[in-house]
Amino acid sequence: EEKLARTGPKKKEREFPDDGDDDPELLLPAIPEDTPHIPYRPPRKSDEEILQKSREYYELMAKRRTVRCFSAEPIPQEVLDNIVKTAGTAPSGAHTEPWTFVVVQDPQIKEAIREIVEQEEELNYTQRMSRQWVTDLKPFATKPSKPYLSEAPALVLVFRQAYSWRSDGKKRMHYYSEISTAIAAGFLLAAIQYCGLVALTSTPLNANARLRDLLSRPANERLELLLPVGRPHKETTVPDLDRKPLEEIMLKI
Ligand code: IYR
């Protein structure tokens, strides 16, 4: 019977997560209900100023490119601290902050990560990904070999926590943990761009369990993104791509 249950259809992810226990004794919000609401008064900016800021920030972000070839030059620790702190300012479902950023600079661990990802990618490219998928990647010149995983000075592994445990022992659901973690990753990429560094937004397929074990992350966490971060290699190139114009991505109603 147990075997049947395991081979049956995968349990659909629920829109309304079940924390499994509605014991009235434990029905307390994870954040105290009497948390005070305090004034928030950022200085008002004129239309001229917000116009200028919006242009400047667009110009900065439009220069961001995914880079696959890094200089090995180390990054000051405080820069890594600050970009991760910035990611941690992202909004999250019920302020659950469902993320862990594992920043790896240790050459041996980087090498071990590279080994795992390259082994899986070899299978991904030859067996797991469809031929159309592999074909669609041709303009990006990606391949199973990932020298950047040992060459980039830092690897930031973004883990999503689906839930956590409260101090009273109750399971705390992390509502909207996928989109919350994705927003935090966006903040991280923006911070990387703002300070003049580059990253590669990589999503290692099928490497979650092995990387989680390697980095001793708990079962409630799942690897969502692996970002090599650093300065671009002086010879790096990027594909000459355009972005969709505003008219194609925005509807004004
Ligand atoms: N994860 C593989 C394949 C890959 C997939 C997509 I979608 C990309 O935009 C780029 C690469 C790799 O890293 O090579």
DSSP assignment of 104-129: E--HHHHHHHHHHHHHHHHHIIIIIS
Q: Is residue 46 part of a domain?
A: no
Domain that holds residue 183: 63-233
Look up the CATH number of the domain holding residue 141.
3.40.109.10
Q: What ipTM goes with this model?
A: 0.91
Pocket test for ligand 1, best of 203, 206, 226, 238 (most atoms within 8 A of CB): 203
Residue 225: inside a domain: yes
Q: Is residue 21 part of a domain?
A: no
- Model confidence at 123, in pLDDT bands (50, 70, 90)? very high
Within a domain: 70: yes
Asked whether residue 71 is assigned to any structural domain, the reply reads: yes
Task: Indicate whether 198 belongs to any domain.
Answer: yes
- Top pLDDT among 17 and 191 is at 191
**Residue 103 covered by a domain:** yes
pLDDT for residue 184 is more than 80? yes
Q: What pLDDT is recorded for position 20?
A: 64
Residues 69 and 232: beta-carbon distance below 8 Å = yes
Query: Average pLDDT of 185-208?
Result: 97
pTM of the model: 0.92
- Residue 224 falls inside a structural domain: yes
Dist. CA 142 → ligand 1 center (Å) = 7
Residue 213 has pLDDT above 70, yes or no: yes
CA–CA distances in Å: residue 154 to residues 15, 58, 59, 250: 36, 26, 26, 36
Q: Is 94 in the pocket of ligand 1 (CB under 6 A)?
A: no
Q: What share of the chain in percent tops pLDDT 90?
A: 87
- Residue 156 pairs with which residues in a beta bridge? 103, 227
- For the chain, the domain total comes to 1
120 lines ligand 1 (CB under 6 A): no
Average the pLDDT over 74-83 and give the result: 98
Q: Which residue's alpha carbon is nearest to atom 5 within ligand 1?
A: 137
What's residue 3's pLDDT?
Answer: 37
Which pLDDT score is estimated for 18? 67
Ligand 1: nearest atom to the Cα of 204: 1
